[in-house]
Structure formats: C-alpha cells, structure tokens
Amino acid sequence: MRNEVLVAITSDRDVVLARQTGRSMATELGLSKSEATLLATAISEVARNIVEYVGNGQILLCIVNLNGMEGIKVVASDSGPGIENVEMALQDGQSSGGRLGLGLPGARRLMDEFHMVSEIGEGTTVTMTKWKGPRRG
Amino acid sequence: MPVPILKQGPYLVASIQDALSDREVLELQENLLKQIGEVRASGIIVDVTAMDVIDSFASRSLRTVALTTRLRGAEMVIVGIQPDVAFAMVQFGLLMDDVNTALDLEEGLEFLDSWIAGRTFDDEE
C-alpha cells in the first residue's frame, strides 16, 4: 500500500476520485466502514471547495503514525485568493462565496483533527486527520 | 453515465448505480423534475443504495427535488441510505427532516401507495 497519494483537483470528477482514494486507503489501514465514510465525506467537502471557489488545487492523502495511533491525514491546498476570516468560514451558516456555508464546519465535525490556514493572495490549506479506533476522551 | 429513471406504475424510480459527481447529481435533479410533469407521475423513488457519500451538495440537491416534487403535487421518497452514510450525515449535521425516507425500494413503494390512498381519501371528504 502506498503511504502517500496526491490527487490533483480540477473538476467535480476529481472530488469523487479524491474521496474514493481516501476511503480505500482508510479501509486498507483498518479503519471501520463508518470511520472511512466520515473521512470520505469530509474529503468530498474540502475538494468541492477547491473546485467551486478556486478552480484547482490538490489533495494529499497520507498514512500517519503518532504515539501508537494510526490514521489518514488529508492536506487540501490551493493557490487561490485566500479567505480573510478563517474563523468565520468555519462557523455554521457562513460562506465567503455567499452559498450555504455547511461544508467546512461539517467536515470539521467529521474529523478528529482539523486546521485551516489561509493567506490573502497566497491560498488556503486545510489539514485534517481521521484516527483509527475509538477516540480518547 | 446518467442515472436511469424508470416508470413503474404511477411512479418514477431512479436507481443510482455508482458514486455521483456533482454534475451527475444536477443532471438527475433536472431529469426528475422534467419527467415528473411529462409522465404525470404521482411519486418519485430515488434509490441511493449505491451512493458512497451523501455530502452537503448531494443532500441539498435531493432535498430540492423532494420539495419541488411536493409543490408539483407529487411526493418523493429516498430509499437505501446506507447505515454508515446515515451516520455521517447526522455527524455532519445534514438533516433532511422534511424529506421522506424508507429502508428499501419495497418500503418506498408501500409508502407512496399509502400516500396516494390517503390523498384520495382526503379528496372525498
């Protein structure tokens, strides 16, 4: 199994490819079907954001090990205009594009870790991780 | 590949065969809304058993078809949402409170049959 897969995101077909690749990596790593579906749904959202708001970008999927935990890390990045207020973009009902802002806050709820950084004129990167097995706490 | 839509009695049945791209979801939405008038269907069943993911876009599109169908005087029911997909939708916060769902095609047909029966009864009152 490859530890890292890079998926170029340029169209709605790539959104499907990215989430299916993430799902198969998760399943091979031994994540449950439910965990794999949570991951695939979150990937679908961040990939769609790239297509809708920027047009193109990439999603890096990798297997991570930390303190005996295994999981799938997703790094979704673009070189778009960037988001001025990241905190606001992560609130329910907010969206810089004027559409229903469900995607990012929803994706955050599905993942165990979620970070978003954005620089105006530079682009946006969302880094999120789904761990295998029951959560701590 | 477009989602096949078959006419079964007074209903339209759309059986999604594979994961759908956003464009394919929109095509399905358009085709269903077009056909419901053309064939004068009383109900629509959308079978989503094969859908790998129902995210914000897919759920919004399905809900749009359901509510539009209702405004046209018909009713829609979504069948076959997989347990892991349903779980993800709840975690996400995608609630489709105003959309009918049923376990499978058979229960979906039963739902629409009783909806039609109820509608006829109301008309006679």
- Give percent helix, percent strand, percent coil of chain B, each to the nearest 5: 50, 20, 30
Do A44 and B55 lie within an 8 Å CB cutoff?
A: yes
User: Which amino acid, one-letter code, is at B51?
Assistant: M
pLDDT tens readout for residues A74-86: 999 999 999 888 8
pLDDT tens readout for residues A12-30: 999 999 999 999 999 999 9
Residue ranges of the domains in chain B? Answer: 5-118
pLDDT tens readout for residues B40-51: 999 999 999 999
Q: Is the dihedral of CA A51, A54, A58, A62 positive or negative?
A: negative
- Please provide the size of chain A in residues: 137
Please name each of the domains of chain A with its CATH number: 4-131 (3.30.565.10)
* Rounded mean pLDDT, A111-125: 95
Q: Which residues of B touch A41 (CB under 8 A)?
A: 53-55, 88, 92
pLDDT given for residue A122 in this prediction: 94
| Residue ranges of E strands in chain B | 5-8, 11-15, 43-47, 75-79, 100-102
A108 near A76, Cβ under 8 Å?
Answer: no
Q: ipTM for the complex?
A: 0.91
Q: Which residues of A touch B93 (CB under 8 A)?
A: 92, 102, 105-106, 109
Residue A117: left (phi > 0), alpha (psi -120 to 50), or beta? beta
Do A102 and B84 lie within an 8 Å CB cutoff?
A: no
Q: Give A86 to chain B, closest Cα distance, Å.
A: 19
Q: What is the token pair recorded at B28? A: 């399905």
Whole-model pTM?
0.92
The CATH code of domain B5-118 reads: 3.30.750.24
- Print burial letters for A1-15: b (CB count within 10 Å at least 16), e (below 16): eeeebebebeebebb
Q: Which residues make beta-bridge pairs with A130?
A: A72
Work out whether strand A69-78 and strand A57-66 pair parallel, antiparallel, or are unpaired: antiparallel
pLDDT tens readout for residues B35-83: 998 999 999 999 999 999 999 999 999 999 999 999 999 999 999 999 9
